[in-house]
Amino acid sequence: MQIILAKMQREQFFEALDTVIQSPKRFAVVSHVNPDGDAIGSSLAFAQFLKKFGHEAEVMVSNDFPDFLAWMPGACNIHIYDKASETCDQILNVADVLVILDFNHSSRSGLIQETLNKLNTKKILIDHHRDTDLSQFFCALSETNVSSTSELVAEVVMHYGEQYLDESIATNLLVGIMTDTGSFSHSIYHSETLAICAKLIDKSISYNQIHQLVYDTFSEGRLRLLGYSISNKMEVLDEYATAIIALSKEELAQFNYQVGDTEGVVNFPLNMKKIRMSVLVTERQGIIRLSFRSKGNFSVHELANKYFNGGGHTNAAGGTLTCSLEKALELLHQVLPEYKEKLNQIG
Ligand SMILES: [Mn+2]
């Protein structure tokens, strides 16, 4: 049944997309706040794909992306709303079509939300998050059972023909899939993901180089912060098969914190056999950010959604609170007993 529905959705999606890309238009491609490799990779690739049909396509995100993504083909042309809101608003206001990539609710667009909500422009969605309200989109390719939005964009590009897959597009999509799967360690639900990657690797810059550009870029401060987080800050709660790392803004400053420096820290506690859930809590300007990871079928999406104003996927989710770091940790400890049984289940 699911397969039939997915097939129907694809047929409808491509039928609708065909009508849009036939004649030259102005596209604004928007992705989520605190953009990651998948947000940037899928957006750049889709914009580059659109340009092959003679369209104008501008990519925009709410705030800056981490340095380890800055080398990506076309990244220097991305519009950052909090640095150039007027330009961004202008692009949005004249756009014929908005493309929403790697998020499904306008609240995830950060500072762009206000303008987005005002526009009646045709919207196209390509995304792998759950609970999508499809009614607001002209057409949507929304599937949760894929590694990443970049995988879906790869499917779209290849639907139109492999001749559209050039070095930039392939490289950008590979970064998206690589980063959303934690370097191919999770979120791979079918062999198709790797089959797509095989095609991308044939067209992209050297795979080894991409991996190095994304992962071997730590500053000394970032690596020391990782060491400190695990060695000094990791709290292991055996009873709940959970590990928590909390970092205050003073601690982040001590390691000369740059955007993206805590990326991946939350994954390390899961390397322990006994740990089922890992939580990273960080203090930013005025807000507390929580990042959740889990193994197996324990859904951090549910927990993040119920208590931490967030959500995401079964094994990876985020949330935010506007309170002190201490209060956030207090709440986290308070809700754990409710999940004790599930956290101690195998599978
Ligand atoms: Mn993604």
Token look-up 């036939």 returns 22
The least confident of 3-7, 30-34, 57-61, 215-219 is: 3-7
Ligand 1 geometric centre to CA of 308 (Å)? 20
CA distance 40 to 257: 21
Supply φ then ψ for residue 237, to 5 degrees.
-110, 90
Total domains in the fold of the chain: 2
Q: In the structure encoding, which two tokens stand for residue 189, read together?
A: 């639900």
Domain endpoint, select from 215, 246, 268: 215
CA 295, distance to chain mean position in Å, is 18
Ligand 1 geometric centre to CA of 65 (Å)? 14
Ligand 1 geometric centre to CA of 322 (Å)? 25
pLDDT in tens, 118-142: 999 999 999 999 889 999 999 999 9
Supply φ then ψ for residue 96, to 5 degrees.
-85, -30
Ligand 1 geometric centre to CA of 148 (Å)? 5
Ligand 1 geometric centre to CA of 149 (Å)? 5
Ligand 1 geometric centre to CA of 214 (Å)? 16
Ligand 1 geometric centre to CA of 192 (Å)? 17
Task: Supply the pLDDT for residue 1.
Answer: 57
Ligand 1 geometric centre to CA of 179 (Å)? 9
CA distance 201 to 207: 6
Ligand 1 geometric centre to CA of 189 (Å)? 14
pLDDT surpasses 90 at 80: yes
Ligand 1 geometric centre to CA of 254 (Å)? 30
| Domain match, 177 and 269 both | no
Q: Which domain holds residue 317?
A: 220-343
Nearest to 95 by CA among 103, 106, 87, 105: 87
Ligand 1 geometric centre to CA of 128 (Å)? 7
Ligand 1 geometric centre to CA of 232 (Å)? 31
| Domain match, 92 and 154 both | yes
CA distance 44 to 61: 11
Ligand 1 geometric centre to CA of 309 (Å)? 18
Q: With beta carbons less than 8 A apart as the criterion, state whether 17 and 139 touch.
A: yes
CA distance 227 to 222: 9
Task: Supply the pLDDT for residue 260.
Answer: 81
pLDDT in tens, 217-257: 999 999 999 999 999 999 999 999 999 999 999 999 999 99
Q: How far is CA 308 from CA 48, 142, 334, 343, in A?
A: 36, 24, 12, 18
CATH of the domain at 54: 3.90.1640.10
Q: In the structure encoding, which two tokens stand for residue 132, read together?
A: 């999508």
CA distance 291 to 282: 9
- Helix 37-51, helix 167-180: angle, nearest 10: 160
pLDDT surpasses 80 at 82: yes
Its pTM surpasses 0.85: yes
| Domain match, 242 and 161 both | no
| Domain match, 141 and 261 both | no
Ligand 1 geometric centre to CA of 238 (Å)? 30
| Domain match, 64 and 123 both | yes
Q: In the structure encoding, which two tokens stand for residue 48, read together?
A: 């580059």
Mean residue pLDDT of the chain comes to: 95
Task: Supply the pLDDT for residue 338.
Answer: 98
Domain endpoint, select from 215, 242, 268: 215
Q: In the structure encoding, which two tokens stand for residue 147, read together?
A: 């590694």
Q: With beta carbons less than 8 A apart as the criterion, state whether 306 and 338 touch.
A: no
| Domain match, 251 and 338 both | yes
94-102 mean pLDDT: 98
Ligand 1 geometric centre to CA of 135 (Å)? 21
197-212 mean pLDDT: 98
pLDDT surpasses 60 at 68: yes
CA distance 345 to 347: 6
| Domain match, 69 and 178 both | yes
Ligand 1 geometric centre to CA of 105 (Å)? 14
Ligand 1 geometric centre to CA of 182 (Å)? 11
| Domain match, 321 and 303 both | yes
Ligand 1 geometric centre to CA of 245 (Å)? 23
CA distance 200 to 28: 25
| Domain match, 283 and 311 both | yes
Looking at per-residue confidence, does 286 or 269 come out higher? 269
Ligand 1 geometric centre to CA of 146 (Å)? 9
Domain endpoint, select from 215, 246, 276: 215
Ligand 1 geometric centre to CA of 220 (Å)? 28
Burial of residue 238 (CB within 10 Å: 0-12, 13-18, 19+) is exposed
| Domain match, 172 and 50 both | yes
Percent of the residues in the chain that have a pLDDT greater than 70, as a whole number = 99
Ligand 1 geometric centre to CA of 10 (Å)? 19
| Domain match, 138 and 176 both | yes
| Domain match, 205 and 230 both | no
Ligand 1 geometric centre to CA of 291 (Å)? 14
